[in-house]
Amino acid sequence: MKKVLVTGAFGQLGLSIQDIHLQFPNLKFYFFSSKQLDITQKQNVNDVFSQVKFNYCINCAAYTNVEQAEKTPKIAYEVNSKGVENLAIACRNNNVTLIHISTDYVFDGSKTDAYTVEDVPNPINEYGKSKLLGENYIQQTLNQYFIIRTSWLYSKVYGKNFYKTILEKAKIGGTLHVTDKQIGCPTNTLNLAFFIINNLIENNTNFGILHFTDEKAMTWYQFADNIITENKLQDGVVLLKAENYLTFAKRPINSILK
Ligand SMILES: NC(=O)c1ccc[n+]([C@@H]2O[C@H](COP(=O)([O-])OP(=O)(O)OC[C@H]3O[C@@H](n4cnc5c(N)ncnc54)[C@H](OP(=O)(O)O)[C@@H]3O)[C@@H](O)[C@H]2O)c1
C-alpha cells in the first residue's frame, strides 16, 4: 500500500484532501498539522520522514497571507522557500515523490492570454517571489516531483477565502463593491484534491511543472456575482464594481493558467 504524507494538512486544501481520501482505500494517508510538522525545522522534517517509509509527500504547507508577506517577507521565505527546500531534501534522501502546490502569482500578469508552463515566471510581490524560489529549490534537488500551479483557491467549507467572505457579506445584504480589474480561474480545493490523488498519485508518472485550475476564467466581480446567484441571494444584494481597489501587494492583472 502506497503511503502518502500530507503537510499543512489543516489548511483549506489539506482539509479537502482529508475529506476525500477514503475514496482511495489503496492509499494510506498521514496528515500532519503545522504543529506536528513544521517544515521550516529540518530536524522535525527528518524525524517525520524517518518514522514511516512514505511514497509521496503532498506539500499543502505554505505561508499564504499575500498582504502580510509584503510587510514581513522573512516568514514567507522561511516557509515557502527554505521549508520547501527542507522537504525536497528529505524527499530525495528517502526516495519520496514530492507533490508541491505553487501559484499563479509566480507570473507578472502582463500576458494577454493564458499562462502556459513554458512561460517564464516574473513574480511582482514577495509571496510570488517566495513561492518561485520554492519551485527552484525543488527543481535543483529532485527528479521525481510534481509542481502544480493553481489559482484563486477556495473551499466552500474551510479557511478564509473570497468565496466564504462574499457569501457571509451577501447573507447580511446591502451593497458590495468588488474589483473587476483582475482576471483568473477560481479553483475549488475539492477539485484540486481529487486531481492530485486520482491523476498524479494513481495514474501519472510525467513529472515536472503543471497547471491545474477549474475551467472558467472570470474577474473577481464575476466570481462574486456567481457566488451570490448560486446561493440565491441576489434579491438582498447590490453588487457594484469597485473603483478604488487598493492593496499593499501588487497582484497580476491576468492570472489565467492554461
Ligand atoms: N489560497 C489561494 O488562493 C492559493 C492560490 C494559488 C496557490 N495556492 C497554494 O495552494 C497551497 C494550499 O493553499 P491553502 O489555500 O490551502 O493554504 P492555507 O489554507 O493557508 O493552508 C496552509 C497551511 O500551511 C500551514 N503552515 C504554515 N506554515 C507552516 C509550516 N512552517 N510548517 C507546516 N505547515 C505550515 C498552515 O498552518 P497554520 O494555519 O497552523 O499556520 C496551514 O494549515 C499553498 O501552497 C498555496 O501557496 C493558494
Residue 60 Cα, ligand 1 centroid: separation in angstroms? 6
Residue 9 Cα, ligand 1 centroid: separation in angstroms? 9
Tell me if 255 is assigned to some domain: no
Tell me if 229 is assigned to some domain: no
Predicted local distance difference test score (pLDDT) of residue 243: 80
The closest residue, in CA terms, to atom 15 on ligand 1 is 12
Residue 238 Cα, ligand 1 centroid: separation in angstroms? 32
Tell me if 243 is assigned to some domain: no
162 burial (CB, 10 Å; 0-12 / 13-18 / 19+) is middle
**What's the domain count of the chain?**
1
Q: Which residues contact 120 (CB under 8 A, 6 or more apart)?
A: none
Tell me the best of 34, 72, 87, 106 to mutate to test the pocket of ligand 1, counting ligand atoms within 8 Å of each CB and taking the most: 34
pTM above 0.95, yes or no: yes
Q: 137 an active-site residue?
A: no
For range 153-174, the mean pLDDT: 96
Predicted local distance difference test score (pLDDT) of residue 119: 98
Predicted local distance difference test score (pLDDT) of residue 205: 73
Check pLDDT > 80 for residue 155: yes
CATH number, residue 134: 3.40.50.720
Residue 234 Cα, ligand 1 centroid: separation in angstroms? 32
Tell me if 165 is assigned to some domain: no
Predicted local distance difference test score (pLDDT) of residue 150: 98
Tell me if 257 is assigned to some domain: no
Predicted local distance difference test score (pLDDT) of residue 203: 84
More confident residue, 144 or 204: 144
For ligand 1, residues with CB inside 6 Å are: 7-8, 10-14, 34, 37-40, 60-64, 79, 83, 101, 103-104, 131, 150-153, 159
Predicted local distance difference test score (pLDDT) of residue 145: 98
Residue ranges of E strands in the chain: 2-7, 27-31, 56-59, 97-103, 145-150, 153-154, 174-178, 183-184, 187-188, 208-211, 218-219, 237-241
Tell me if 226 is assigned to some domain: no
For range 15-39, the mean pLDDT: 98
Tell me if 220 is assigned to some domain: no
> Which of 56, 63, 127, 154 is labelled catalytic?
127
Check pLDDT > 80 for residue 246: no
- Sorting pLDDT into bands at 50, 70 and 90, what band is 178? very high
Contact 90, 45 (CB under 8 A): yes
Q: What's the rounded Cα separation, in Å, for the pair 89 and 106?
A: 22
100 CA: nearest ligand 1 atom: 45
For range 10-34, the mean pLDDT: 98
Domain coverage including residue 73:
2-155+187-214
Q: What's the rounded Cα separation, in Å, for the pair 150 and 26?
A: 26
Tell me if 22 is assigned to some domain: yes
Question: What is the pLDDT of the chain when averaged over all its residues?
Answer: 96
The closest residue, in CA terms, to atom 8 on ligand 1 is 103
Which residues on adjacent β-strands are paired with residue 39? none
More confident residue, 246 or 42: 42
- What tens digit of pLDDT does each residue of 192-226 get? 999 999 999 988 778 999 999 998 999 999 999 99
- Sorting pLDDT into bands at 50, 70 and 90, what band is 176? very high
Q: What's the rounded Cα separation, in Å, for the pair 29 and 201?
A: 12
Measured CA angle at 192 (ends 228, 2), to 5 deg: 150
Upper half-sphere CA count for residue 227 (Cβ side, 13 Å):
27
Measured CA angle at 160 (ends 158, 164), to 5 deg: 75
- What tens digit of pLDDT does each residue of 75-122 get? 999 999 999 999 999 999 999 999 999 999 999 999 999 999 999 999
Tell me the best of 64, 65, 163, 251 to mutate to test the pocket of ligand 1, counting ligand atoms within 8 Å of each CB and taking the most: 64
